Amino acid sequence: MSTALLEDTKLGSTAGRLYRRQNALTGLAVGVGLAVLGWFISLNTVQSNENFGTDMTVAVTMACWVIGFNIGIGTFNAVFAWVLGHDQSREDELYGAGVGQGRSRYFKYCTDHKVVGTQYLILVFVLFFVGGTLAMMIRTQLLTPNSSFLSPQTYNAVVSIHGMCMIIATIIMVSGPFANFIMPIMIGAKDMAFPRLNAMSFWVVVSAVPPLLATFFVGGVNAGWTTYAPLSVQDGPAMICFAITIITFVVSVTVAGINTLITVLTMRAKGMTFTRMPIFVWASVIGGGLGLYAMPAFLLAMTLMVADKATGTSFFVADQGGSGWLWENVFWIMGHPEVYVILIPPVGALMEVLSTFSRKPVFAYKMIIGAMTGVAGLSIMVWAHHMFTTGWAPDLAGPFMLTTELISIPTGIIFLAAIGTLWRGSNWVRLPMYFGFLFIWNFIVGGVTGIYLSDVPADNYFHGNMFVTAHFHYTLLGGAMIAGTAGLCYWFPKVTGRMLDERVGRWAFWLIAIGFQVTYLAQFYEGFKGMPRRVANYDPVFQPENLVSSIGAYVLMAGWVVLLYALVSSWRNGAIAPANPWSAKSLEWHTQTPVPLENFLEDPLVINDPYGYGGVASEQIHAVFGAHGHHGANEGDHA
Amino acid sequence: MTDLANKTHDAHEGGHHDTPEQRDRKELSALILFIAGDALFVVLEVLAWFYLRALNPNDGWRFSTATAESPALSGSNNPHDITAIVEQAPQSWAIAVAAATLAIGLIAWAGEARARSGKSFAPLLMLSAVVSVVAMVVQVLQFQNLPFQTTDGAYASCVEFFMASNLAHLLIVFVVMLGVAIRANKGLYASNWYQIRLARIWSLWVGISAVVLTSVTILFV
């Protein structure tokens, strides 16, 4: 290769300026310092208000933490520099991209999209570990009808934070690591459109995590992850921490969504037309766009909540002119699209897996894109199906039932496309494919049970019971998270430069697959029998199913732990991965591993779609590189 | 060292270093998306207004039936009882804030027009930054001159929330206008001024949202 690697560039001692002195520790120090200062000032000014003082103090403290952490890590450096008219030099930019910093760049405000993607991946692991541990506490409590493992209040707090921790983790589990690390390479870009905003989106979400965990130390959130008003308004100051987490998270998702869309719109390689884009890129765009629609509602809901609690406004307090229905509407205007913000990117990742390992083009490519768009469009018109049993607007129950049931059509198209891709393919059943098969099963169970819940009479019975719990775990855990895991196993060699230990990975797969079915099929049965959800104690008539469900949950957790072990051990000591271990066609597999800064030593020219597998099409090349037009489409072919 | 950095940059033209035209395209697209999201937030704010106004739980929109003999909120955790209908917020302050907010965008627009025609434009951008400070001050004065407290029911809540969201808007406008003004004074917009256009678009949007929110508070009490 004639071009020097940017990583080898020697930078001057002043490159990066203030960023040189900033890292996660300075973020922590400034964050804690500002939080203490905010707490002290607030304590001496507004604490005297007996009704709202504590909530206001907590709000100020948590807001100061978030702002302080981001000042300390460097989120606002570029803003201040821009205002003062100081633009970054090329050396500053290279320093910002991590040149010459080794592993320390993973603890800094690094603008390289691959570093940001890796940072997201670690954060997702941490969040899933926290959320999973809380899930085990829930299942342990429910082993017996009158367990005293957790007090009812602690149980509520654990359920609430388990829910929100998992929601945050699943929203970013694919859009964070893979839409950052992989997607720009897939479209032939050298980075995201706004590298600094990219780093910002990560560090902002990091700053959102401590307030969420802090809820346990200030009384716990008792209102569930949906934090329905007026229960949440009457809750303690933990609710403020919870809301600050969400408000901060919204900023991150919004910035990330805009960045994803603009990257795809403006930075595609030559020849990368919309119909040549990999499905995963489409999924990232649709998911990111839907996030932009959903997040303002989340922001409004949580801001109004903070206002009600900390300043005494009455948006949700009925005796002062507010309404719990306002909360439910605004929350679910966000809430249902958010399900597809979670689901669509992993499904896109899964389609890449199915196509690569069945050695067939994605079946009905354009139909899938249309179906994903249809799902996104319909998802903004279904929110009130979450409110069938609340008494809000009964006349609208029929129309919302219809729109909800309509959404099963594009969802079904995606499902059929997945089956069609596998159909008569030369299926190469590696670990990603295992998870792909599991997704297909889980997705159909989750989808079909969703139709029951969209039906008003059936929902009246199922809504408040464990059937709903089982349904959305089949959808989000069994669907989105399993598809995301397929993507993780697929892209692991590219991200880490190591091959994933398949033998241990398959042990993990079987534990996860079996544990998951046992856990949630038992919960469906509990639902049929009428066991209410969100209860710390239950009637002994439900004990057999709960026992089975808890045992299944332990097996499931064991599976995730084994998978985590496989990931960590392979990352440290796994076999060195070739550039293209799967003989895949898309661009990320046709650059070096580890991927160089700015991704390609020679610019790609895309000449075909990335799914030229099978038959005559197997000779089809997705892209050529550099001025000589040579290609690497079959580099690193498996035997 | 710098030479090497430049050489590698030449080989990767269009990476982290974009041309002003490329940056314009990216940043304008991003701004449009951001404004779309912000507009959704404003629309939802307005929906909350109309929803609570129409639903009027416990007559809590403005407590139109409250009297000294039968005060509202008696027994609740409200710091004081309400003994009469909650007064409407003064229109003059609301109109002044909206006008000042809209003026920022219009001044920035004039600055952009002068930049396009090659005339001096930095003073106008500085003026828009100053007006954004004035608008924030007027907004704070409006808070201080409200005839009700935050705790006085849904109408009071909505009015104050609208004002707070406009104040947040104005803060961003101030930072942006201050930035473009300083950069204009430094001559950084000598060859391209796309950032002035972006600042104008943002500040105009903020002006429009202020007018919309103010109109709602005046026309649909």
| Secondary structure class of B146 (helix, strand, coil) | coil
CA distance B75 to A47: 22
pLDDT value of residue B15 = 46
Cβ–Cβ under 8 Å, residues A483 and A435: yes
Q: Which parts of chain A register pLDDT below 70?
A: 1-4, 47-51, 615-619, 627-639
Cβ–Cβ under 8 Å, residues A527 and A557: no
Domain residue spans in chain B? Answer: 20-219
CA distances from A523 to A22, A107, A128, A284, B100 (A): 48, 41, 21, 32, 58
pLDDT value of residue A13 = 79
CA distance A84 to A86: 6
Return the structure tokens found at A373. Answer: 């768009």
Is the CB of A193 inside 8 Å of chain B's CB atoms? yes
pLDDT value of residue B80 = 75
Number of domains in chain A: 2
Q: Closest Cα partner for A411 from A361, A462, A480?
A: A480
Q: Closest Cα partner for A17 from A104, A87, A105?
A: A87
Select from B15, B30, B154 the Cβ nearest to the Cβ of A258: B30
Q: Which residue of B has its CA nearest to A329?
A: B48
Q: Determine the residue type at A492.
A: F
Interface test with B, best of A234, A306, A314 (most B CBs within 10 A): A314
Residue with tokens 């690193």: A636
Please provide the size of chain B in residues.
221
Q: Which residue of B has its CA nearest to A85?
A: B183
* B213 CA: distance to closest CA in chain A (Å): 15
Q: Determine the residue type at A231.
A: L
CA distance A147 to A173: 33
Cβ–Cβ under 8 Å, residues A413 and A364: yes
**Does residue A587 fall inside a structural domain?**
no
Q: Is the Cβ pair B15, A598 closer than 8 Å?
A: yes
Asked if the bond preceding A152 is cis, omega within 30° of 0, the reply is no
Cβ–Cβ under 8 Å, residues A213 and A133: no
Return the structure tokens found at A524. Answer: 């469906």
Q: Is the pLDDT of residue B13 over 50?
A: no
- Residue A607 — left, alpha, or beta (φ > 0 → left; ψ -120 to 50 → alpha)? alpha
Q: Which residues of B touch A303 (CB under 8 A)?
A: 161
Pairs of residues, one from chain A and one from chain B, whose beta carbons lie less than 8 Å apart: 181
Q: Which residues of B touch A195 (CB under 8 A)?
A: 16
Residue with tokens 């089956």: A419
- Domain shared by A485 and A403, yes or no: yes
Interface test with B, best of A54, A265, A319 (most B CBs within 10 A): A319
Q: Indicate the helix (H) or strand (E) that contains A606.
A: strand A604-606
Q: Closest Cα partner for A301 from B161, B11, B209?
A: B161
- Domain shared by A37 and A164, yes or no: no
Its pTM surpasses 0.90:
yes
**Does residue A350 fall inside a structural domain?**
yes
Is the CB of A394 inside 8 Å of chain B's CB atoms? no
Q: Is the pLDDT of residue B218 over 60?
A: yes
Q: B-contacting residues of A 324-383, CB under 8 Å?
A: 325-326, 329-330, 333
DSSP classification of residue B149: -
- Domain shared by A259 and A195, yes or no: yes
CA distances from A426 to A218, A370, A461, A621, B215 (A): 56, 27, 45, 19, 64
Cβ–Cβ under 8 Å, residues B23 and A87: no
Domain with A216, as residue range(s), is 114-573
Q: Is the Cβ pair B37, A254 closer than 8 Å?
A: yes
CA distance A439 to A415: 10
* B117 CA: distance to closest CA in chain A (Å): 23
Cβ–Cβ under 8 Å, residues A456 and A382: no
Q: Which residues of A touch B34 (CB under 8 A)?
A: 254, 258
* A83 CA: distance to closest CA in chain B (Å): 4
- Domain shared by A131 and A73, yes or no: no
| Secondary structure class of A591 (helix, strand, coil) | coil
- Domain shared by A79 and A180, yes or no: no
CA distances from A462 to A392, A420, A455 (A): 18, 33, 10
Cβ–Cβ under 8 Å, residues A125 and A564: yes
CATH code of A491's domain = 1.20.210.10
- Domain shared by A199 and A323, yes or no: yes
Phi, psi (rounded to 5 degrees) for A630? -75, 160
pLDDT value of residue A342 = 96
Q: Which residue of A has its CA nearest to B195?
A: A82
Q: Is the Cβ pair B40, A297 closer than 8 Å?
A: yes
Q: What is the ipTM of this complex?
A: 0.93
Helix residue spans in A84-192 (DSSP H): 90-96, 113-141, 152-175, 177-181, 183-186
Q: Is the Cβ pair B153, A321 closer than 8 Å?
A: yes
pLDDT interval class at B190 (50, 70, 90): confident
- Domain shared by A342 and A395, yes or no: yes
Q: Is the pLDDT of residue B1 over 60?
A: no
Q: Is the pLDDT of residue B10 over 50?
A: no
Q: Closest Cα partner for B25 from A193, A511, A488, A74?
A: A193
pLDDT value of residue B2 = 39
Cβ–Cβ under 8 Å, residues A421 and A358: yes
Select from A85, A262, A300 the Cβ nearest to the Cβ of B30: A262
Q: Is the Cβ pair B178, A83 closer than 8 Å?
A: yes
* Per-residue pLDDT reduced to its tens digit, A464-510: 999 999 999 999 999 999 999 999 999 999 999 999 999 999 999 99
- Domain shared by A74 and A127, yes or no: no
Q: Indicate the helix (H) or strand (E) that contains A605.
A: strand A604-606
Interface test with A, best of B157, B191, B202 (most A CBs within 10 A): B157
* A330 CA: distance to closest CA in chain B (Å): 8
pLDDT value of residue A637 = 38
pLDDT value of residue A100 = 87
- Domain shared by A38 and A154, yes or no: no
**Does residue A220 fall inside a structural domain?**
yes
Strand partners, B52: none
Q: Which residue of A has its CA nearest to B5?
A: A9
pLDDT value of residue A633 = 42
Buried-exposed string A390-400: b where 16+ CB fall within 10 A, e elsewhere: eebeeeebeeb
- Domain shared by A291 and A338, yes or no: yes
- Domain shared by A45 and A118, yes or no: no
Cβ-Cβ contacts under 8 Å for A551 (sequence gap 6 or more): A518
* Per-residue pLDDT reduced to its tens digit, B15-70: 456 788 888 999 999 999 999 999 999 999 999 999 999 999 999 999 999 888 88
Residue with tokens 């403005």: B62
Select from A190, A258, A325 the Cβ nearest to the Cβ of B34: A258
CA distance B145 to B140: 9
- Domain shared by A46 and A189, yes or no: no
- CATH fold of B20-219: Four Helix Bundle (Hemerythrin (Met), subunit A) (1.20.120)
Q: Is the Cβ pair A598, B153 closer than 8 Å?
A: no
**Dihedral (C-alpha) B126, B127, B131, B134: value to the nearest 10 degrees?**
80
Q: Which residues of B touch A10 (CB under 8 A)?
A: 1, 4
